[in-house]
């Protein structure tokens, strides 16, 4: 199904050098902010106090969040847990206060705001748990990257594998760079979004790579850059429909999902936009500069295997 049809190939690779220079600059800046500012890790990673409270009526999360902020906790996750009457709070560690003192102070403030509130549970998430989560997250990211490289190397060619991994790391680092620069909270939900961006980005790259291989088989007189331009242009309709519909849902979560989904949807929004960009310009551009050619993707028949009277014997088929 195509809603958009392009009559001529768009010369994407003509601008690949300038746009990849921009990508390199953005990548370096992201690494710089990650090193100098670091990520604003949530309670799951740093440790802290988790509280669950319950109300007789559906809880007003905005009012609960305001009470918590008056105690000096900025951007504390406050969300419904189970039902609309149950609320879960995650409090970061504060110097000079124990977990019991934190929960007691917050519960007293909530009681002052609504005497009907009931404390269901409170527990401390230690830094050791947070460290394990960080390590598990890094292991998951490494396994995803290795799996993508192996898959692309077997399905296509090692040049596509290298190009796709560079493009995917480009997407992940830039998403993390945004979170480091603006100091948005980095939680397990955001980590899940980053891993989702990896899969989403490589899917777009695979679609383009498959069309490049198909174009090499059909168009023998095209140069590699012309083949890449034709492959990207022929997938533009699919890209607009697929990513457009996905962005509508993600932006809906971003605007109407509330604080619990805001950073998750924000990471997905940034990642999907850069995933489209990197698949078109970064992955395709790097594969072109690595010297991808028809012989890499289409098997060659020797003259012994072909008909000696056939003028195409020994040529790529």
pLDDT of residue 300: 55
Fold for 12-39+129-296, please state it.
Answer: Multidrug efflux transporter AcrB transmembrane fold (1.20.1640)
| Residue range 104-116, pLDDT digits in tens | 999 999 999 999 8
The segment(s) of the chain belonging to CATH 1.20.1640.10 are 12-39+129-296
> Is 50 exceeded by the pLDDT of residue 315?
no
pLDDT of residue 129: 61
Which of 16-20, 138-142, 200-204, 308-312 has the weakest average pLDDT?
Answer: 308-312
Can you read off the two tokens belonging to residue 31?
A: 């690494």
The segment(s) of the chain belonging to CATH 3.30.70.3400 are 48-125
pLDDT of residue 4: 64
Q: Look up the pTM and report it.
A: 0.79
Closest CA to 91 of 47, 38, 59, 39: 47
pLDDT of residue 191: 86
Can you read off the two tokens belonging to residue 293?
A: 């050619």
Judging by beta carbons within 10 Å of its beta carbon (0-12, 13-18, 19+), is residue 236 exposed, middle or buried? Answer: middle
* Confidence band of 228 (pLDDT split at 50, 70, 90): very high
Judging by beta carbons within 10 Å of its beta carbon (0-12, 13-18, 19+), is residue 48 exposed, middle or buried? Answer: buried
pLDDT of residue 252: 93
Specify the CATH number of the domain 48-125: 3.30.70.3400
**DSSP 8-state class, residue 308:** T
Closest CA to 232 of 200, 203, 210: 210
pLDDT of residue 127: 67
CA–CA separation, 287 and 278 (whole Å): 12
């Amino acid at each position: 199904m195509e809603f958009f049809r392009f009559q001529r190939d768009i010369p994407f690779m003509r601008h690949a050098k300038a746009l990849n220079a921009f990508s390199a600059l953005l990548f370096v800046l992201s690494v710089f902010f990650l090193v100098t500012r670091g990520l604003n890790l949530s309670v799951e990673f740093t440790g802290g106090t988790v509280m669950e409270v319950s109300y007789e009526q559906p809880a007003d999360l905005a009012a609960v969040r305001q009470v918590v902020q008056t105690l000096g906790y900025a951007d504390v996750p406050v969300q419904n847990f189970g039902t609309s009457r149950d609320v879960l709070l995650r409090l970061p560690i504060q110097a000079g206060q124990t977990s019991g003192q934190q929960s007691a102070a917050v519960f007293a403030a909530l009681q002052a705001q609504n005497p009907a509130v009931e404390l269901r549970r409170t527990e401390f998430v230690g830094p050791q748990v947070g460290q394990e989560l960080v390590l598990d997250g890094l292991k998951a990211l490494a396994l995803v990257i290795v799996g993508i490289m192996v898959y692309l190397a077997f399905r296509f060619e090692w040049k596509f594998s290298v190009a796709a991994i560079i493009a995917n790391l480009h997407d992940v680092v830039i998403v993390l760079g945004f979170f480091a620069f603006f100091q948005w909270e980095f939680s397990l939900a955001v980590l899940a979004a980053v891993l989702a961006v990896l899969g989403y980005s490589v899917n777009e790259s695979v679609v383009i790579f498959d069309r490049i291989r198909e174009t090499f088989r059909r168009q023998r007189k095209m140069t590699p850059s012309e083949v890449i331009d034709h492959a990207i242009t022929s997938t533009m309709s699919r890209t607009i429909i697929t990513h457009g519909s996905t962005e509508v849902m993600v932006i809906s979560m971003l605007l109407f999902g509330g604080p619990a989904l805001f950073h998750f949807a924000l990471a997905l929004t940034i990642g999907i936009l850069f995933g489209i960009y990197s698949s078109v310009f970064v992955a395709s551009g790097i594969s072109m500069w690595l010297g991808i050619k028809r012989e890499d993707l289409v098997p060659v028949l020797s003259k012994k295997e072909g008909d000696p009277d056939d003028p195409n014997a020994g040529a790529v088929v």
